[in-house]
Amino acid sequence: MSPYSCTSCGAQWHSETEPRECPKCSSRIGIVGSACGSRLSAPPLSEQPRVKKYGMGVFSFCVFILILAPIVGIILAFDHRTRPFAFSLLLCLAPAAGIAAVIIWMIKLHRAWKVIQSLRLNDPTEAGMPTPGQAVGLLFVPVFNLYWMFVATVGLVRRVNRFLIVRKRNISQMSQSTPLALCISAIVLGWIPATGAFISSIYFPGYGPFQGGCLLCLIIGVPLGGLYAIEFIDQANRITNEIIAAESP
């Protein structure tokens, strides 16, 4: 029995006769193994569903609004005349910018994972790599996302660089230091202080110094994480566009 693999959906099976189409998605198939050890590639990116390209300017603008709105809002809150405007910044503008930034960030992350999916067919060690839906969707699972953010960002960089080597593309590789710094700052200066401040406000409401320290960490962590997020997505967006251009006929 010979091994076969679908170049569209990645399904693999064994058959005594040579099939003409994938039993799962009805696409064309081919032999996985051969005497020379060659493996099939996914169809060209031009044959895959087109993905929309979103400008980095919108994402960067939303991140800077998310960073500046709380700072300006806190300053304006000290004056009773500007206090209503401060509350509008804190309760309306900052959350709206944050939601927009997260949506664009997830779209770009999904797109970056999408263009390297053929790596699972070119490299047998990456047969179990996350799908674009898994890479993005599992970031919304509470607590588990503290681990998965490393997989979705640092893991993406590692696989993108591996993809460029396997496909022999003359494209500059991504740096792992930016997503690693993003994940560490999100946990150390974001999740831990936010959780600590929330718990202490319930069980130790009078312990001001601890809550002040948590707030200081958040004031430092949010801008720092935002800058790392812009740098990481900018790299991912650039290299995604270059891969699509190189893979298209």
Q: What's the pLDDT tens digit per position in 108-119?
A: 999 999 999 888
Could you tell me which of 189, 173, 171 has the C-alpha nearest to residue 227?
189
Please tell me the predicted confidence (pLDDT) of residue 112.
92
Please tell me the predicted confidence (pLDDT) of residue 27.
57
Please give the C-alpha separations between residue 87 and each of 68, 76, 158, 170, in angstroms, as whole numbers: 14, 9, 43, 51
| Residues 45 and 122 occupy one common structural domain | yes
Instruction: Evaluate whether 110 touches 132 at the Cβ level (below 8 Å).
Output: yes
Q: How crowded is residue 125: how many other Cβ atoms within 10 Å of its Cβ?
A: 9
d(Cα 79, Cα 141) in Å, to the nearest integer? 40
| Residues 122 and 241 occupy one common structural domain | yes
Q: Coil, helix or strand for 27?
A: coil
Instruction: Evaluate whether 169 touches 118 at the Cβ level (below 8 Å).
Output: no
| Residues 155 and 60 occupy one common structural domain | yes
| Residues 27 and 106 occupy one common structural domain | no
In this structure, which amino acid lies at residue 210? Answer: F
| Residues 28 and 94 occupy one common structural domain | no
Please tell me the predicted confidence (pLDDT) of residue 5.
62
| Residues 135 and 95 occupy one common structural domain | yes
Instruction: Evaluate whether 161 touches 173 at the Cβ level (below 8 Å).
Output: yes
Please tell me the predicted confidence (pLDDT) of residue 3.
59
Q: How many domains does the chain fold into?
A: 2
| Residues 108 and 219 occupy one common structural domain | yes
| Residues 130 and 238 occupy one common structural domain | yes
Please give the C-alpha separations between residue 226 and each of 74, 100, 213, in angstroms, as whole numbers: 19, 13, 20
d(Cα 182, Cα 154) in Å, to the nearest integer? 10
Please tell me the predicted confidence (pLDDT) of residue 14.
60
| Residues 80 and 185 occupy one common structural domain | yes
In this structure, which amino acid lies at residue 175? Answer: S
Please tell me the predicted confidence (pLDDT) of residue 77.
66
Please tell me the predicted confidence (pLDDT) of residue 130.
92
Please tell me the predicted confidence (pLDDT) of residue 19.
57
d(Cα 223, Cα 209) in Å, to the nearest integer? 22
| Model confidence, pTM | 0.70
| Residues 85 and 208 occupy one common structural domain | yes
Please tell me the predicted confidence (pLDDT) of residue 44.
45
| Residues 45 and 167 occupy one common structural domain | yes
Please tell me the predicted confidence (pLDDT) of residue 36.
36
Domain that holds residue 1: 1-40
Could you tell me which of 4, 240, 245, 8 has the C-alpha nearest to residue 118?
8
| Residues 113 and 137 occupy one common structural domain | yes
Instruction: Evaluate whether 12 touches 5 at the Cβ level (below 8 Å).
Output: yes
Low-confidence ranges of the chain (pLDDT < 70): 1-55, 73-74, 77, 83, 86-91, 206-208, 249
